[in-house]
């Protein structure tokens, strides 16, 4: 996959962070560290949400996803019919 980031967001991280990540990824190809790194990109280089954006997400979600690999903590919105985007059972 591909993503984009602003230069400012890349440089907001201390160079120690990038050097440590690079060192951990030099071990090989298709290593577990690479899978972890893929999940860290957003946290490392995203522009933090503003307070009004956080409040909007809280207001429009009805629950927090607590099942399924990789999406624990994701906000969900229950439709009036009781359906969710993934139709999983509680």
- Residue 89 pLDDT > 50: no
Give residue 85's pLDDT: 53
Q: For residue 1, give the nearest of 28, 29, 41 by alpha carbon.
A: 41
Spatial CA neighbour of 65 closest among 38, 88, 32: 88
Q: Is the pTM of this model over 0.75?
A: no
- Rounded Cα gap, residues 15 and 13, in angstroms: 6
Q: What integer is the mean pLDDT of 49-67?
A: 87
């Amino acid at each position: 996959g591909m993503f984009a980031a602003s230069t400012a967001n890349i440089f907001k991280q201390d160079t120690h962070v990038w050097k440590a990540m690079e060192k951990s990824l030099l071990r090989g190809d298709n290593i577990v560290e690479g899978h972890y790194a893929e999940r860290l990109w957003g946290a490392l280089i995203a522009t933090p949400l503003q307070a009004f954006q956080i409040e909007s997400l809280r207001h429009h979600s009805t629950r927090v996803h607590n099942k399924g690999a990789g999406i624990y903590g994701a906000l969900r919105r229950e439709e009036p019919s009781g359906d969710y985007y993934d139709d999983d059972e509680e």
